[in-house]
Copies of this chain bind each other. A is one copy, B any other.
Amino acid sequence: MAFEGKDERARNVRVEDVAREAGVSPITVSRALSTPEIVKPETRERVLRAVEKTGYVVNTLASSLRSGRSSFIAMFVSNIENPHFARATRGCADALENSGFHLMMAQTNYSARLEADFVGSVLPLRPAALIFTGVVQAPTTKTLIRSRGMAVMEMWDHVEDPLDMLVGFSNLDGGRLMGEHFGRAGFRNIAYVGRTQDRGAQRLAGFREGLAATGAELGHVAPLDGHPPVIADGAQALRTVMQRYPQVDAIFFSSDVLAVGASLEAARDDATSHVAFAGYGDSGLAEALPVPLTTVHVSSYEMGFRAGKMLLRRLAGESVRERSIVLPNELRIRQSTARFIN
């Protein structure tokens, strides 16, 4: 063991030695190390200096926990590399600032198995509440959570039966807005590229409805249901659609990241300059592109912020009558489609 020297020395120092050095009681030393937030800053400083001087090492296995629920709230994030989820965690953390609660996050990779695994390992730590950037997947996970009678926040979707509370939006409505826009714009050879399951299925269904309402229809679907999409997937998807559906005049991508990849690819290739693009999400890049991107705006930060505030009210014991908040969808029409409309 590489650090034996330090460990050996530390084993001979007892909490009483630290207390004597710091001029405080042993229980104060213990508190300063395990629950520093309840100890005066000056006392804590003195204890820490004594710890440093004596080389004391806490016996972690023997140290006992505070009773009651923890001060942390566990947030389960489907994919932390998705900037929308990252922004939602920021909004949520901002809402919790100075509340005494701390946000801790875990990644579930959209996997029901990982989600169940994480929930099972987090519950014994007695989190004050649970947040999910989606709706909880497995029925047994739902039951396990319900059995705790704790505050739970689901997000990013609109379901009739949330576990407890929900702040989300309707993916069906978002897709429908885009379908109506494409139909009214007069596009006639229309493709959909992206997820066709879960939220993707809803966006696609809404898109078809919106097209139908304006007398248009969907000519081609290119499903991308594997790993979370990256920029390069959008460029690749554009090339594939141009081959398989050469008459295409407009493409709706199920997420901005795909549309951005396609848009940057198109900027290098005149052969696709007659094709309209749209995305979903309104990431920071959508507006900054050489041809700014039409997209459905998702208020990720606001969703996280409102979820955090709603949880705080519940944790403070207030009555929360409005259990479910559905944020409106907003279509942002920019040059990527607008330049083809007379």
Contact = CB atoms under 8 A, between A and B. Distances in A.
Interface stretch (A29-37, A201-209, A271-279): A29-37
Given A80-B89, A146-B52, A321-B2, A65 B126 contact: yes
Nearest to A74: B104
A211 to B, nearest CB: 30
Contacts of A120: 35-37
A267 B36 CA distance: 53
Nearest to A37: B120
B147 A33 contact: yes
A115 to B, nearest CB: 12
Given A106-B102, A121-B102, A90 B81 contact: yes
A267 B285 CA distance: 14
Interface string A241-285: 000000000000000000001001101100000000000000011
A231 B285 CA distance: 7
Contacts of A147: 33, 48, 51, 56-58
A144 B284 CA distance: 39
A290 B266 CA distance: 9
Contacts of A40: none
A60 B49 CA distance: 37
Contacts of A10: 149
A20 interface: no
A45 B80 contact: no
6 pairs of A and B residues whose beta carbons are closest in the complex: A57-B149, A36-B120, A267-B290, A81-B86, A105-B105, A48-B143
Nearest to A87: B81
Nearest to A265: B288
A1 interface: yes
A89 B79 CA distance: 10
Given A57-B147, A69-B60, A147-B51, A125 B125 contact: yes
B58 A148 contact: yes
A341 interface: no
A232 interface: yes
